[in-house]
A and B are shown apart, each in its own frame.
Chain A
Amino acid sequence: EIVLTQSPGTLSLSPGERATLSCRASQSVSSSYLAWYQQKPGQAPRLLIYGASSRATGIPDRFSGSGSGTDFTLTISRLEPEDFAVYYCQQYGSSGTFGGGTKVEIK
């Protein structure tokens, strides 16, 4: 089973700053089947990025994904107040495992 490790666990930033979230896989993720989700308190997760770098429908272009193989990154170019949330990476090539999450909090 592929294990996904997200870092950092918590990111403290101010609105307008750039956020860089990391997701490392224990083995190569096939066909870049790597997704990112955002979850706010009391809400269901929302798909942001799939295929490592494609934005889902309706996702603002301040969100971008990159990477391949075992190392992936989610970047939020300029944080808006609504972007403070928990972010999960997930590989959907086999067993659908999620990373442990990164909380982006207001500094």
Chain B
Amino acid sequence: EVQLVESGGGLVQPGRSLRLSCTASGFTFGDYAMSWVRQAPGKGLEWVGFIRSKAYGGTTEYAASVKGRFTISRDDSKSIAYLQMNSLKTEDTAVYYCTRDPITMLHDYWGQGTLVTVSS
């Protein structure tokens, strides 16, 4: 059974940093691209970024709203994807989901999400 479990969310002040983790199980993690998608309270879905599998270079792409501030990485030996978030803004407050992507940005499995609240 495919499982994705996010962790690392919480309350953080504007301008600070936070790192989210996504621990995967039930599939060969290294074969898939992984994405992060967020959802602000009461709002719709926003794609944040993805990381390709090593077979496709392990490269990353980001939404304009987070480019230069957020970084996605992966550790295939541990089946974990990371989202490093720097220079956080109040508008980054959201539930952050990690997803498995059989095609980049096609999200066939989702984690349960972790809430990040940016507030002073």
Contacts from A to B (Cβ < 8 Å)? 1, 33, 35, 37, 39, 44-47, 50, 56-57, 88, 90, 92, 95-101
Contacts and interface: CB of A to CB of B under 8 A. Distances in A.
Contacts, number: 54
**How extensive is the interface on chain B, given as a class?**
20 to 34
A44 B45 contact: no
Contact of A46 (B50, B103, B110): B110
Contact of A44 (B47, B64, B110): B110
A96 B44 contact: no
B94 interface: no
B114 to A, nearest CB: 11
Contacts of A33: 103, 106
Interface in B61-120: 63-64, 97, 103-113
A101 B40 CA distance: 14
Given A33-B103, A33-B106, A44-B97, 16 more contacts: A45-B97, A45-B110, A47-B106, A47-B107, A47-B109, A50-B108, A57-B108, A88-B44, A90-B45, A90-B47, A90-B105, A95-B47, A98-B45, A98-B46, A98-B47, A101-B45
B35 interface: yes
8 nearest A-B residue pairs (beta carbon): A96-B47, A96-B105, A92-B105, A44-B110, A98-B45, A92-B106, A47-B108, A101-B44
18 contacts: A35-B106, A37-B45, A45-B107, A47-B108, A47-B109, A88-B44, A90-B45, A92-B105, A95-B105, A96-B35, A96-B37, A96-B47, A96-B50, A96-B63, A97-B47, A98-B46, A99-B44, A100-B44
